[in-house]
Amino acid sequence: MSNLSGYDMIVAASRHEAEPSAKAVLCWLAYLADRKTRTCYPAQDLLAKLTGRSVRRVGSALKMLEDDKVITRQERRIGNRRTTDLITLSKNLFQPDKVSASKSGFEPDKSASLNRTQCPGNYKEQRPLSAGAETAPRKNKIMRP
């Protein structure tokens, strides 16, 4: 497990089938997690800012991920005050059947959304210039009623 890079953890998290909000939260948890222990303790309002969801939606996404046994949450307290939960990513998320034989660990499928084709910068058709177009000034036509 400790040989996974951050990119590999995020790719593995993005392959998990979940609701889009839960998947976004899981990808950020994989990004924030320690590579060796797979643990992190981000605040829900931080996850809400990172994912662009509401705090309430992040809380329900964490609950969904916990029900799917993808993460485990351990409540932390300082005195009588509750602080951020300790979140541990499941080992099942990083199973060897998902790891390819490449050096980086994970290799996205050819149909994955990460492999988008590069679009040309200019979609307009390049038209040849007419004779004298380089020197003739453009005239602005103003339509008057």
Q: How far is CA 115 from CA 18, 47, 111, in A?
A: 20, 26, 7
| CA–CA distance, 145 with 142 (Å, rounded to integer) | 10
**Residues 102-108: what's their mean pLDDT?**
45
What top-level class would CATH report for the domain 6-98? mainly alpha
DSSP 142: -
For the chain, the domains span 6-98
8-59, pLDDT tens digit by residue?
Answer: 788 888 888 888 999 999 999 999 999 889 999 999 999 999 999 999 999 9
- Could you give the CA distance from residue 41 to residue 76 in angstroms, rounded to a whole number? 9
Question: Residue 104: is its pLDDT beyond 50?
Answer: no
Q: Residue 134 contacts by C-beta under 8 Å, 6 or more apart in sequence?
A: none
Residue 39 sits at φ, ψ, to 5 deg, of -120, 155
Which pLDDT does position 144 carry in this prediction? 60
Q: Is the pTM of this model over 0.85?
A: no
Listed in sequence order, the residues at least 6 apart from 44 whose beta carbon sits closer than 8 Å to its beta carbon are: 55, 58, 59, 62, 84
For the beta carbon of residue 75, count every other beta carbon within 10 angstroms. Answer: 9
